[in-house]
Every structure is written in structure tokens, then in C-alpha cells.
Amino acid sequence: MKHAMFSKEQNRPKLRAAFIASLLICIFVADTVTNFEIAFAVFYIAVILIAIGFLSTRGVVVLASICIGLTVLSLFLTRRGSFEAGLFNCGISTCAIGITTYLALKTVAAQAAVYDAQEQFARMARLTRLGELTASIAHEVNQPLAGMATSADACRRWLDHAPPNLERARLAAERIVSDAKRASDVIVRVRRLAKSEPPHQERFDLNEAAAEAVGMAEHEIERNSVSLQMNLAEDLPSVMADKIQIQQVISNLLLNAIEAMTGVPSFKRELAVSSSRDDEGRVVFAVADSGSGMKQTTIDHLFEAFWTTKESGMGIGLTISRSIIEAHGGRISVTSAPRMGTIVQFSLPAAEENET
């Protein structure tokens, strides 16, 4: 079967050449045996338009020259009618063949340019997607990597202690292992997100997930002398979501809040983390800070990719966070005013009773 298809493909150029040649012969014969007054030669145009689909530019030019040659040859071989009319028709047919060839070749060249541009566009889009994916991974693994560096440092110090504190060193090593696992989990999640795959779903308690995410940011909270308040609702229903992704969102919001407070005196740095239920029964999680706050013009750009006001920021933390929340059928919103601090909150649908 494969062999038959192969030989069919191989024969196709020969078949096409035979078809073109027979058309040329038919038109030539008809043009020669009919009167000078009948301009049969204009049908060569049809041959050129057929051939343009599979011949190269050179091939089409050669074919057009053959058509013109045959038109002139017919003029001398035709015996019936007025030679003057024949000469006139020959001139018209020759011009028509020439102009058609020129226009057809120009159209094909324009089409090729469009295909090239489309291909280049597709390549650029792939590169942009790759760039966004790389930036997202770099952004999201930053925190576990920083955690690993801190724990590795602590581990070394406990080992250098005289006498070495092996228990503390072991705990630090365990933190390194769990951060490394987290980094690889995060990479899997970001890749899924980039491929627009639906999030992995598991039933979990948002309060517990939030407490873990706050724990991961503890080092940053302490380092920046931020005072933390947790107001987590007790009777909160579970959510069905990708826990790692939701923790990524919480980490991004916490980090933004901490960074927004670097410009205010340390005794005014207040971070409040809260959870609640809204009127529609959704689970709401909010991060409030007493930082710089934002103007409305800043708020308008917040979720745009690569939009940042920070020197070392990538401007994708909130873009990723919104993608994650929306992929879970949730919403994310910001309330802020200059010097009044910011509240970023998201809501997620509560898990149904029978969902597992």
C-alpha cells in the first residue's frame, strides 16, 4: 500500500507534464486549423493559470514563452481567413499571455510573502509563549530556592557549632528537601497552566493551606520586621482546587504586600491575612497591608504581564495569580488607595458536600 502511494506521488509530475502538453497540443491544433479571425490562442492563459499551482517561477516563464512561440507558429501555419485579422489576434493573445503570466507570478509571490509572514508570526508566538513560561517558572521557583539557600546556610551553621547541633541540622536538611520537592511541584503546575490544562483538583482546607504558605514566607516576614495578624474563619467549607497552585497565589500576594511596606517605618508594617465566606457561599481569602497603596492608574495595569514598578520585579506575580484563580472558576480583586495600603482578595467556589 505504502509502495503504491509512493509511486503515485512519484508519477504526479509526469502526469501533470503530460496533461499540460496535451492541452498545449489541443489549443495549438485548434488555433491552426480554425480561421485567423478566431483567437483560440487566448486559451493558453488557462494553461498558465493551471500550471502556476505546481510549476516554479522559472517553469511558468518557460511555459509562457512556449505558448507565445506556438501562437506565432500557428499564425504562419494557418491557411484560412484574413492574415491581417490573424496578426491582430496574435498580438492580442501574446499580450494576454504575457500580462497573465506577470500578474499570476506577482500574486503567487505575494501569497508566498504572506505565508512567510504567518510562519514567522507563529514562530514569534511560540517564542513568546516559551519566554512567558520561562519567566513564570523563574518567578515561581524563586521562593523555594531562596528557602533552600537559607536552610542550607542554617544547616552549615548548626554543623559548625561546637558541639554540632545535629538535631537542628537535620531539621534544616529536611526543610531543604521539602523546598526542593516544592520547586519541582511548582514547575509541573506552571507547565500545566501554560498549556491551559485544567488544574489538578483535591479537596482541602484553605485555612491550612494558607497557614503553610504563611509559614514559607515567615523568613521574609521576620527579615522585614512585619507584624502579622491572622483572622481565619473557623467554619470555612473546604475547596476543590490545586493546593500547590493556590499556595503559589497566596505566596505571591504575601510577597507583594511585604515588598509594598519596605517604604514605611517598620513599626507601621502590618500584614493581615484573613479568610471568610461571601454572600454567594464562596470562600474568600484576603491579604491586607499597610504599605504604599496604589493610584487608580496603577490598579488598571496590575494584572498585565511584565508590568512592574519595582526595579527587580518581573511583573508577572499577579498575572500568574489571576490565571490560577480564574482557572479554578474564582475571582481576584484589588482595593487600594495611595498611602492607605492595599487589600488583594480572591474567592473560590466551595466544594460540594459529595465532592471528594
- Judged by the rule CB under 5 A, the positions of this chain that interact with Mg ion are 256, 317
Give the nearest distance from C-beta 112 to Mg ion in angstroms: 45
Burial class (CB in 10 A: 0-12, 13-18, 19+), 146: middle
**Which residue(s) pair with 343 in the sheet?**
288, 335
Three-state SS at 187: helix
Nearer to Mg ion, 47 or 257 (CB): 257
Give the nearest distance from C-beta 61 to ligand ATP in angstroms: 57
Binding of residue 98 to ligand ATP (CB under 6 A)? no
Residue 93's binding partner among ligand ATP, Mg ion, none (Cβ under 5 to 8 angstroms by kind) is none
Give the nearest distance from C-beta 150 to Mg ion in angstroms: 19
Question: d(Cα 233, Cα 208) in Å, to the nearest integer?
Answer: 11
C-alpha cell at 189: 503546575
Residue partners of 173: CB distance under 8 A and separation at least 6? 151, 155
Chain mean position to CA 353: 36
Nearer to Mg ion, 139 or 182 (CB): 139
Question: d(Cα 305, Cα 256) in Å, to the nearest integer?
Answer: 15
Residue pair 340/293 in contact by the 8 Å Cβ criterion: yes
Question: d(Cα 123, Cα 121) in Å, to the nearest integer?
Answer: 5
Binding of residue 256 to ligand ATP (CB under 6 A)? yes
Nearer to Mg ion, 248 or 347 (CB): 248
Binding of residue 217 to ligand ATP (CB under 6 A)? no
Residues 328-347: x/- map of binding to ligand ATP (CB under 6 A)? --------------x-----
Give the nearest distance from C-beta 56 to ligand ATP in angstroms: 51
Nearer to ligand ATP, 156 or 191 (CB): 191
Give the nearest distance from C-beta 241 to ligand ATP in angstroms: 20
In the region spanning residues 273 to 312, those forming contacts with ligand ATP, defined by CB under 6 A, are 289, 291-292, 294, 298, 302, 307-310
Helix axes of 166-194 and 142-160: crossing angle, nearest 10 degrees: 170
Give the nearest distance from C-beta 271 to Mg ion in angstroms: 15
Count of alpha carbons within 13 angstroms of residue 124, beta-carbon side: 6
C-alpha cell at 75: 499564425
Candidate segments 15-23, 103-111, 266-274, 315-323, binder of ligand ATP by CB under 6 A = 315-323
Residue 330 DSSP one-character state: -
Residue 308's binding partner among ligand ATP, Mg ion, none (Cβ under 5 to 8 angstroms by kind) is ligand ATP
Question: d(Cα 16, Cα 10) in Å, to the nearest integer?
Answer: 11
Give the nearest distance from C-beta 261 to ligand ATP in angstroms: 8
Interface contacts to ligand ATP, rule CB under 6 A: 139, 252, 256-257, 260, 289, 291-292, 294, 298, 302, 307-310, 313-319, 342
